[in-house]
Structure 1
């Protein structure tokens, strides 16, 4: 381990954003539109990452946006963000979204997502960021999970890039046999 001088603890940048879900946020089905929630997630990811980095940050990737339960008009939505991983110029922010019915007090977990952000310097080039001081066993677990998530993502991108160069549609058409599609061009 190194000295803590160029490291910031996870707790330093932990951020919570809470917002009341109003009728104008609803979609045609009467539930809160997913785009509203994504916008709020991006906002809290920025606040958390910029605080840790001490710089402006931009969103590079968004992973694992699963809408587990609908959010209703009138609920208070809280987005809890923390830095789970840092590289040299990038960081991964984990976000947990919960919705609270203020009348009943019932709380439900609606989303978990991971935003990869890159810090930008005044010259608009990627800027080096402080390391991450893991204060708890949970912080260490999240960092390790983020490492695994990055590894799997990089492997997926590599395999996808390789399959595009070696994939022959004619040789792979048999994979479509039990799928819900028809070939109209044959």
Structure 2
């Protein structure tokens, strides 16, 4: 179990004044990366860094406010030979009263990549389960996400062409693209983009799409499963394209 704490500051806010959903997604990924990397380096051999490959559905149960302290508690709940599942709960703490409330829940999958060779996937040290049933449930989740990743990978090249003169409130009208030049502060030790940075950018472009469609302020309520199929390297342009129909 690993805990990450961070006080929420004004530059973490969205236009409504609450904490930006992308900030929370980035924090969740960082907490998962820390606990995964620690666990995978328990064994002797090449040092490795855990890389994000999938995020399950992420729930935004309650808003977080500026001035509160975010607690991201991460726990490894399943490990296969080359990957591991991390479940994360985010709590918001009012440091004036001590009151806490649950704001987010998420499950993420990581693989350990060798620091010497980023394309080399290391073996994951096994974890101890409370029961055989707990291990079996984890195995089922592992097989399910593995199958879905293969299915989405086959659709990765699908591109929705931008429409010409789209009518308001159509899918084409809200379609948006965000391009970001990857800098050193966005990257891991491998000089690849952090998964959390990618999720924050995805949340930003999704917010643009939703605002265009609804013509009002919006906030993130839930994020469906996200798969990470390819690496984005330092110096490359990351392109995020979304529409209200996706």
TM-score after normalising by structure 1: 0.71
Q: 1:149 deviation in Å? A: 2.5
Please give the alpha-carbon distance, in whole angstroms, between the structure 2 residues aligned to 1:59 and 1:145: 21
Q: 1:181 deviation in Å? A: 8.0
Q: Superposition RMSD on alpha carbons, in Å?
A: 2.6
| Consecutive unaligned residues in structure 1, runs of 5 or more | 1-13, 165-179
Instruction: Name the structure with the higher helix share.
Output: 1
| 1:8 equivalent in structure 2 | none
| 2:122 equivalent in structure 1 | 127
Please give the alpha-carbon distance, in whole angstroms, between the structure 2 residues aligned to 1:56 and 1:79: 20
Pick from 85, 91, 101: which aligns with 1:92? 85
Please give the alpha-carbon distance, in whole angstroms, between the structure 2 residues aligned to 1:158 and 1:120: 20
- Cα 1:20/1:90, change in 2 over 3 Å: same
State whether structure 2 residue 43 is matched by structure 1 residue 49. no
| 2:51 equivalent in structure 1 | 58
| 2:63 equivalent in structure 1 | 70
State whether structure 2 residue 27 is matched by structure 1 residue 40. yes
Q: 1:159 deviation in Å? A: 7.4
Please give the alpha-carbon distance, in whole angstroms, between the structure 1 residues aligned to 2:121 and 2:12: 34
- Cα 1:80/1:131, change in 2 over 3 Å: same
Alignment map for 1:7-22 (pairs within 5 Å) = 14-22=1-9
| 1:109 equivalent in structure 2 | 102
